[in-house]
Amino acid sequence: MKLKIALQKSGRLYEDSLKLLKECGIELTNGVNKLRNEAFNFPLEVLFLRDDDIPQYVADSVADIGIVGENVVNEKNKSVSVIEKLGFGKCRLSIAVPRTMDYQNIKSLNGKKIATSYPLLVSQFLETNKITAEIHEISGSVEIAPGIGLADVICDLVSSGSTLFLNGLKEADVILHSEAVLISNGELSREKNDLLNKLLFRVQSVKRSKKHKYILLNAPNDKLDVICKLLPGMKSPTVVPLAEEGWSSVHSVVNEDDFWNIIEQLMAHGAQGILVSPIEKMIV
């Protein structure tokens, strides 16, 4: 028995999805089949699909779980649950308008024609904000719609913003912040659910390790108390005496979010020789 996971066949999520499996210690066989593959060191079968089809395949139990953007999960609106955010494939689904348009606020969309590949999410957004506008669904190259007179404004995915810029558009309102997520069919057997939990444990360890750094520093003994308080680590920091009297080496783990802030405070309290390195896995 194997857990079946659906991944994007090619495109923006393909590389990062395979990289995540690899970081979880899961190696795929070097098969020639581009649609199906198996892991040789974990009971996992991989189906490669178009991202738009992944929620349906998971809802229909053709795959047990899948990796896909939240934008696709929400637009397709199938019966699947989001189990874990994965931290890659980040983008925003945004309303964008011609740079010359005098866009004041959402109300400026009243009476406009909006081109998008996300008709459900746009109609929900309009309804919530009590806006009456026409939605024109197109499947690709949405950004050229205003330029060729197909629509007044668009709603599309944005990451760097350069596509909008190159097409004379500006981002006006964000409808959704999205990233790749792990989705699951709610009706997994107990065995499959156990496998999913094993996989999830590995995914969370990998994610946690990316958010933390291992830190080593030298501290004067009379400042150890305050320095240890700044570095609580997983339980408490390791403190080892240095050969030079009056000094200790302190080892701990810091969260990337307040990393620079902590480094400044450590230095202000006399820490020296600070070394920082990435963590490969973090199991708490």
Applying CB under 5 A, the residues found at the interface with Zn ion are: 51-52
Measured CA to CA, the distance from residue 73 to residue 57 in angstroms comes to 12
Quick one: what does residue 168 bind among ligand PRT, Zn ion, none, with the CB cut-off 5 to 8 Å set by partner type? none
Choice between 46 and 203, CB closer to Zn ion: 46
| Cβ-based neighbours of 134, under 8 Å, separated by 6 or more | 112, 113, 114
**10 Å Cβ neighbour count for 49?**
20
Measured CA to CA, the distance from residue 117 to residue 184 in angstroms comes to 24
Strands 212-220 and 247-255: what pairing?
antiparallel
Choice between 142 and 215, CB closer to ligand PRT: 142
Quick one: what does residue 69 bind among ligand PRT, Zn ion, none, with the CB cut-off 5 to 8 Å set by partner type? ligand PRT
Question: Interface with ligand PRT includes 72 (CB under 6 A)?
Answer: yes
Instruction: Tell me the two tokens of residue 284.
Output: 């708490």
Instruction: Find the residue with minimal CB distance to ligand PRT.
Output: 69
Question: Interface with ligand PRT includes 13 (CB under 6 A)?
Answer: yes
Of the candidate residues 50, 107, 177, 229, the single one contacting ligand PRT (CB under 6 A):
50
**Beta carbons of 127 and 187 less than 8 angstroms apart:** no
**Which runs of consecutive H residues, i.e. helices, occur in the chain?**
14-23, 54-59, 70-76, 119-128, 162-166, 190-210, 224-230, 259-268
Quick one: what does residue 71 bind among ligand PRT, Zn ion, none, with the CB cut-off 5 to 8 Å set by partner type? ligand PRT
Quick one: what does residue 157 bind among Zn ion, ligand PRT, none, with the CB cut-off 5 to 8 Å set by partner type? ligand PRT
Question: Interface with ligand PRT includes 97 (CB under 6 A)?
Answer: no
**Beta carbons of 170 and 164 less than 8 angstroms apart:** yes
Length of the chain: 284
Question: Interface with ligand PRT includes 171 (CB under 6 A)?
Answer: no
Q: How far is the CB of 237 from Zn ion (least distance, A)?
A: 47
Using CB under 6 A, list all residues that contact ligand PRT: 8, 11-13, 50-52, 69, 71-72, 89, 91, 156-163, 178
